[in-house]
Amino acid sequence: MAKSLKFSECVAQYNTLMSEIKARHFHPIYLLTGDEGFFIDALCDALASTILNESERAFNQIVTYGLDSDAGAVVNLCRQMPMMGSYQVVIVREAQQMAKLDQLSHYTTSPQSSTILIVCYKNKEQGRGIDKRTSFYKSCAKSGVVFESIHPRDYEIDTWLNSYISSRGMTVSAKALSMLKEHVGMDLSRMAREIDKLVVSMAEGDKLITDSHIEQYIGISKEFNTFELNDAVLKQDMARAMRIADHFAHNPKSYPITLTINILFGLFQQLFLLNYLLWMQRKRGIALPGDVDLMRDIRANNLYAVKELKANVSRWENRRVFNILGLLRTYDAKSKGIDNGGLDGGELLKELLLKIFTA
């Protein structure tokens, strides 16, 4: 069985390719594939804006779309010679929609040095990955570069986000990062756009993105969000948790109960794992991992979250945590209409929180 690619490996290859493009070291073929569109689009855009200058693009850069073209036409385009320049660039976007894509192998098995072919194949839209057994895929790997774009897991996105924000000359607070993720979700392209908007909007000299910046420029309340709800629950601050729940109840589209329950489940899952590791330390003398390793082991979002969990874990004995995880599963079903007694999402959340605090 082939080894599955890790997100960290995807990011490393992406950074290498970006460095090569900046240094004007180009390959004759780029097959950009995978289920995370952000990296595919970013590499394609970087190539499209770097290989040729603005005047050369008018004559030597051709963009086609998989649905509107066929492999034979693309092969013919690739075999043309550039006009008044060193390179011709042929970009195939949405290649996953091209019929008989494998016929591109008639060109990719023997590419021209004067043509750079860029093929963008997004698995997410196709519903399945590109067939790696085809002659097209194999010849791309042999004659050029194959880049596989991997969508991150929840616990992997923070490292990438911090790196992206750092590349824009900024840093971000843990709370601001959590608020941003809550608002945007796991859409890296949208996340990058929001960060870019923040960087442009912030005052000159501001280098730290805070929760106040998120509230001011993106419009997310720094008092009423799932980050604050998790914090209130973790610290057993019932009054604050119920105030936040009331705000959620009045804004159900912005704070769907299914998402809130999922985030609470993540919190108690982390508490359960941390309690177990602490038990192993007490009973078997196995040292508790350092904060960086612990963040990975319990799948926390950042080091700040690890410190908060360690500071408050004594409030949550594991038998109680286990019962709460069962409650969350029950209320997840209720939020989807199963035996909910006609209660809406806001009422269910308040009822759930009361049961959590009294469990």
Provide the residue ranges of all domains of the chain, joining segments of one domain with +. Answer: 7-149, 154-217, 226-358
- The predicted pLDDT at position 218 comes to 80
The answer for residues whose C-beta is within 8 angstroms of residue 106's C-beta and 6 or more apart is 71, 75
d(CA 244, CA 83): 63
Residue written as tokens 């970087």? Answer: 46
What is the CATH topology of the domain spanning 7-149? Answer: Rossmann fold (3.40.50)
CB 112 within 8 A of CB 79: yes
Average pLDDT, the chain: 90
> 226-358: what fold?
Zinc Finger, Delta Prime; domain 3 (1.20.272)
Instruction: Please give the average per-residue pLDDT across 240-244, as a whole number.
Output: 94
Residue 343 has pLDDT above 60, yes or no: yes
Q: What would the pLDDT profile of 212-239 be if each residue is shown by its tens digit?
A: 888 888 877 777 888 889 999 999 999 9
First CA to last CA across the chain, in angstroms?
A: 46
In the sheet that 88-93 helps form, which strands lie side by side, from edge to edge?
61-65, 88-93, 115-122, 29-34, 145-149
52 touches 87 (CB < 8 A): yes
Cα separation, 187 vs 338, whole angstroms:
30
One-letter identity of residue 223: E
| Amino acid making up residue 20 | E
- For the chain, what percentages of helix, strand and coil (3-state, to nearest 5) are there? 60, 10, 30
Q: What is the pTM of this model?
A: 0.70
Q: What is the pLDDT of residues 123-170, one digit of tens each?
A: 865 456 788 999 999 999 999 999 999 988 877 888 888 899 999 899
Question: Rounded distance, CA 233 to CA 324, Å?
Answer: 12
Q: Is the pLDDT of residue 253 over 90?
A: no
CATH code of domain 154-217? 1.10.8
83: Cα separation from own chain's centroid: 40
Res 185: pLDDT: 73
pLDDT tens-digit series, residues 263-307: 999 999 999 999 999 999 999 999 999 988 898 899 887 778 889
